[in-house]
Amino acid sequence: MKKIRLGMMGGGIGAFIGDAHRRAARICNDFELIGGVFSTDYQKGKQFADLENILPERCYPTLDAFVKGELTRPLNERIEAVSIVTPNMLHHEFAKKLLKNGFHVICEKPMTFTVDEAMELQEIVNKTKLSFALAHTYTGYPMVRQMKEIVKSGVLGKIHRVDAQYYQGWVNSIIQGTGSGITGVWRLDPNFAGMSSCMGDIGVHAFNLIEYTTGLQIQKVLADLSPVKENVQLDLDGTVLLQLPDNIKGVIRSSQVAAGEENNLTIAIYGSHASLKWSQENPNFLYQLSDAEPTKVYKPAHDYNSSFAQASQVMPSGHPEGIYEALGNIYKGVARSIRGEQLFDGEFPTVEDGVRGMKFISNVVSSNKEGNIWKVL
Between 100 and 158, name the residue whose CB sits nearer to a second copy.
158
Between 49 and 106, name the residue whose CB sits nearer to a second copy.
49
Between 194 and 283, name the residue whose CB sits nearer to a second copy.
283
- Minimum distance of a second copy from residue 353's CB (angstroms): 21
Beta-ladder partners of 288:
276, 296
The secondary structure element, H or E, covering residue 270 is strand 264-271
Distance in angstroms (rounded) separating the CA atoms of residues 32 and 26: 8
- Minimum distance of a second copy from residue 304's CB (angstroms): 6
- Minimum distance of a second copy from residue 180's CB (angstroms): 19
C-beta of residue 143 within 8 angstroms of C-beta of residue 312: no
Distance in angstroms (rounded) separating the CA atoms of residues 240 and 90: 27
- Minimum distance of a second copy from residue 88's CB (angstroms): 18
Between 94 and 283, name the residue whose CB sits nearer to a second copy.
283
- Minimum distance of a second copy from residue 63's CB (angstroms): 26
Between 101 and 263, name the residue whose CB sits nearer to a second copy.
263
- Minimum distance of a second copy from residue 5's CB (angstroms): 13
- 43 Cβ partners below 8 Å, 6+ apart? none
C-beta of residue 37 within 8 angstroms of C-beta of residue 10: yes
Taking residue 260's Cβ as centre, other Cβ atoms within 10 Å add up to: 9
Distance in angstroms (rounded) separating the CA atoms of residues 252 and 269: 12
The secondary structure element, H or E, covering residue 357 is helix 351-369
Taking residue 140's Cβ as centre, other Cβ atoms within 10 Å add up to: 29
Between 123 and 281, name the residue whose CB sits nearer to a second copy.
281
- Minimum distance of a second copy from residue 238's CB (angstroms): 8
CA-to-CA dists, residue 99 to 95, 124, 278, angstroms: 6, 7, 35
Between 78 and 160, name the residue whose CB sits nearer to a second copy.
160
- 192 Cβ partners below 8 Å, 6+ apart? 87, 88, 89, 186
